[in-house]
Amino acid sequence: MSPITEDCPICLDELISLNSIFVTDCNHKFHRECICNIKICPCCRKEIKEKMKERKGNITITIDRISLECYDKICEYYNERQTLGKIQRLDRHEGGFCVEIKKEERESEFENDRIRQLRWNKKKLVSGMYKGLLYEEECLLYVSMCVILGDEYVSEGNQGYL
């Protein structure tokens, strides 16, 4: 059984490389180069926020703590819109988010090789030395956090972690 593929609604070519995929906050997927100069989503006509186009790396928050209720809402929002694995709260000392890797894609059965994860480090979600989320997963997590926590509390920065 072959995996379900998606096409870019603009150029109609297949969306293959996750590094070249851009996911809007309305959850439509395009090639980055196709959508980079467009301000309105061609699929639903919602505004495409400029900061969504400029993904630079790790996700940063400006609030001191995310409640368990907010974690649950972020995961719920993400999981309702996901096309890959479901996200969940990472139950480690520093916390964060993780997505289970399919059994056939795992390199080993060690606990950290069974998940892709972003952990908190000084108010930033970073992969550090672990397998980070796929680009598409990180985009959707960013959108989920913006929706649940508010745009004003979520930003991006590139500190070389991802």
* pLDDT at residue 89 in the model: 92
**10 and 60 fall within a common domain:** no
- 65 burial class (0-12, 13-18, 19+ CB within 10 angstroms)? exposed
- The whole domain housing 106 covers 55-157
* pLDDT at residue 162 in the model: 29
* pLDDT at residue 29 in the model: 82
**87 and 138 fall within a common domain:** yes
**111 and 144 fall within a common domain:** yes
More confident residue, 134 or 161: 134
**61 and 130 fall within a common domain:** yes
Domain contains 42: yes
Domain contains 162: no
Domain contains 49: yes
How are the residues of the chain apportioned to helix, strand and coil, as percentages rounded to the nearest 5? 30, 20, 50
pLDDT at position 74 over 50: yes
Average pLDDT of 54-77? 80
**123 and 62 fall within a common domain:** yes
* pLDDT at residue 107 in the model: 74
**127 and 71 fall within a common domain:** yes
Q: What is the CATH number of the domain that holds 44?
A: 3.30.40.10
**60 and 48 fall within a common domain:** no
pLDDT digits (tens, 9 = 90+) for 99-156: 988 887 777 777 777 888 888 888 888 887 788 888 778 888 888 888 899 878 887 7
pLDDT digits (tens, 9 = 90+) for 21-51: 777 777 788 887 788 778 899 999 988 875 4
**153 and 130 fall within a common domain:** yes
**88 and 66 fall within a common domain:** yes
Dihedral of the alpha carbons of 17, 155, 70, 67, in degrees to the nearest 10: 130
* pLDDT at residue 125 in the model: 86
The domain boundary residue, chosen from 54, 72, 93: 54
**75 and 121 fall within a common domain:** yes
**94 and 150 fall within a common domain:** yes
The pTM for the full model equals 0.62
**32 and 88 fall within a common domain:** no
DSSP letter at 47 equals B
Residue with tokens 């992969």: 127
- Number of structural domains (the chain) is 2
* pLDDT at residue 76 in the model: 94
pLDDT at position 159 over 60: no
